[in-house]
Amino acid sequence: MHQCRCPGLRFGRAGRGERPAALPGNIVAMVQSIRQKAPRAQIVLTGYPRLFTVGPKMPPAQKELATTLNGMADQLNATISGAASAAGVGYVSVTERFTGHGIGSNNPWIHYTQPSPLDPPELALENFHPNDAGYSQGYRTAVNSALKK
């Protein structure tokens, strides 16, 4: 259902609290490329959801890691939002829509399965991506709302 280019992967590897300098410029260049190919397109960039719902029953180490990773999503979203502004296109946050639907919630919109060695490798590729509800109730609803404005 999706094709992930995963700029967040490189962002996460850059280290806690650091922004890769090339990411905003790469996003602006991507938007410019789209504009050249589709000059009348209405372009909006979306952010990332916080992956985890942090709850009181989480063990402290897990809570700390989940909070750190959610914070990295917030930092990545700030970078994407700034690049969208610099490129003159809209930015759609999905953070609120996904609140209460992260991994660890009763109704997660993020796919996570602990794969076993017997599972096909493709199964692990779905982890940390939205599931069908995340795409339909999170991303699609947010983008459709933004396009109607």
**Phi, then psi, of 72 in degrees rounded to 5:** -65, -35
Using DSSP, state whether 101 is helix, strand or coil.
coil
- The residue behind tokens 């209460």 is 100
Give the SS3 label for residue 91: strand
Task: pLDDT band for 80, please (50, 70, 90 cuts).
Answer: very high
Instruction: Please report whether residue 57 resides in a domain.
Output: yes
Q: List the domain range (segments joined by +) for residue 132.
A: 7-148
Mean predicted confidence (pLDDT) in 51-70: 94
Q: Residue 138: pLDDT above 70?
A: yes
Query: 19 vs 47, which has greater pLDDT?
Result: 47
At residue 14, the pLDDT reads: 46
Q: How many domains does the chain have?
A: 1
Ordered alpha helix ranges (H), 14-59 = 22-37
**Is 77 within the bounds of a domain?**
yes
Q: What is the CATH number of the domain that holds 38?
A: 3.40.50.1110
95 near 79, Cβ under 8 Å? Answer: no
- Range in 42-51, 116-125, 136-145 with the lowest mean pLDDT: 116-125
Nearest to 79 by CA among 53, 50, 45, 110: 45
Reported as a single tens digit per residue, the pLDDT across 84-107 is 999 999 999 999 999 999 999 999
